[in-house]
Amino acid sequence: MKNFLYLQQKYVVNTYVNRQLTLVKGSGVFLFDEKGEKYLDLMSNYGVSIFGYGHPAITHALVRQLQKLATLHGSFANDLRAEASEKLVKRCGLAYGQVYWSNSGAEAVEAALKFAVLATGKRKFIVCERGYHGKTLGALSATSGEKYKKPFEPLLWDFIRIPFNDPLALEKAIDSRTAGFIVEPIQGEGGVYVPDPDYLQRVRELCNDRKILLILDEIQTGTGRTGSFLASQRGQVSADILCLGKGLAGGIPIGTTLVREEIAALIPKHIHTSTFGGNPLACAGVLVTLDLLNEKNLEHVRNTGKYFKEQLSLLRSGFISGVRGEGLLLGLAIKEKRNHVLKLLQESRILAIPSGEDVIRFLPPYIIQKEEIDTAINALQKIVRGLS
């Protein structure tokens, strides 16, 4: 048998942490290595595989479209692209008039920043400490973290960083040169930080009063992750520009930037395009995903997320400092021993991912059941007892 771990390390640019694991197949909420060992997936490929692996409706839709037409340039109309655009705009809310299609969350943010400059003529943005928006140059300018940014400085335009969940800091940072404020409803990569319930409403009011754009990055929190289609919909907040990605296309690469109609009217032809953006295969994935994200499945996310959070809160140890998150975006804060606990979880055939400097992040597929959550909690209880 070939040593795929060795081959990947030899031939792929080494920009990722090596988890020392080769995964070759998925089924439901489980992933399998090349030896057939089964792993409970509590990370869904960083929030992409939201309905797990091999879901029959998603598989059928993608295979059927692959047999018809996989790619088509945006200068031609397409039935699935048109239908996916209409349904996504309506699902996000009629405050958004049009959608720009791309292939990743970072691309969605890049488009958002450029569209904001086109709409306002300004190049100053306000962003949050611990915020994460991607690693391409524009998105990286908005992202926090010296480990990502230092080798590439100076970066683009003028980005002012303020504390998260602090409307007063936002108000003080706005001036006549400000184009907009970009923010995550819940900070995912930065440590799973949930703001006050009225935070986004207060931010929306400030942006209206001071006439700047509100850009919501719902790449991780959107598409049902917190139990509503958008996390911002729970507070009935609409942005001027909205970014989505990750699991929106059933596992096919996707990025979307939704804009208000008055902003769309200021974006000229040719200014920002993408060869693969809105390809029919991805749009087939979008359509089936939107159908699957019905109220029954969203209620399941809310209920299982609540149960998972309650069970995590029962873990007792001096090195556990808290549980936070909403829906199936949860974080377990662990002082000093975070990476060791992640390793022990993997040895217990359970996959989770890091967040911030001291948080284990859980982003399981939405089809997870209480029994599988119990399996993870039992493993965590054994690990915690062994390390205490």
Per DSSP (E only), the strands in the chain are 23-27, 30-33, 38-41, 98-102, 124-128, 158-162, 178-183, 213-217, 241-244, 255-259, 320-326, 329-334, 350-351, 353-355, 359-362
pLDDT (tens digit, 9 = 90+) per residue, 250-296?
999 999 999 999 999 999 999 999 999 999 999 999 999 999 999 99
Per DSSP (E only), the strands in 137-273 are 158-162, 178-183, 213-217, 241-244, 255-259
Q: What is the CATH number of the domain that holds 232?
A: 3.40.640.10
Report the percent of the chain where pLDDT is more than 90: 94
Q: Are 217 and 133 in contact (CB under 8 A)?
A: yes
Among 253, 101, 128, smallest CA distance to 187 is for 128
Q: What is the CATH number of the domain that holds 317?
A: 3.90.1150.10
| Same domain for 61 and 41 | no
Is the per-residue pLDDT at 1 higher than 80?
A: no
| Same domain for 141 and 9 | no
pLDDT (tens digit, 9 = 90+) per residue, 133-164?
999 999 999 999 888 988 998 888 899 999 99
| Same domain for 66 and 48 | no
Predicted pLDDT of residue 147: 86
For the residues 82-99, what does the mean pLDDT come to? 96
- The whole-angstrom separation of Cα 124 and Cα 113 is 10
pLDDT (tens digit, 9 = 90+) per residue, 322-373?
999 999 999 999 999 999 999 999 999 999 999 999 999 999 999 999 999 9
Q: Which domain holds residue 318?
A: 4-55+295-387
Domain boundary among 264, 292, 320: 292
pTM flag (> 0.75):
yes
Is the per-residue pLDDT at 214 higher than 90?
A: yes
| Same domain for 314 and 210 | no
Domain boundary among 266, 292, 318: 292
Count of structural domains within the chain: 2
| Same domain for 322 and 268 | no
Domain boundary among 292, 325, 352: 292
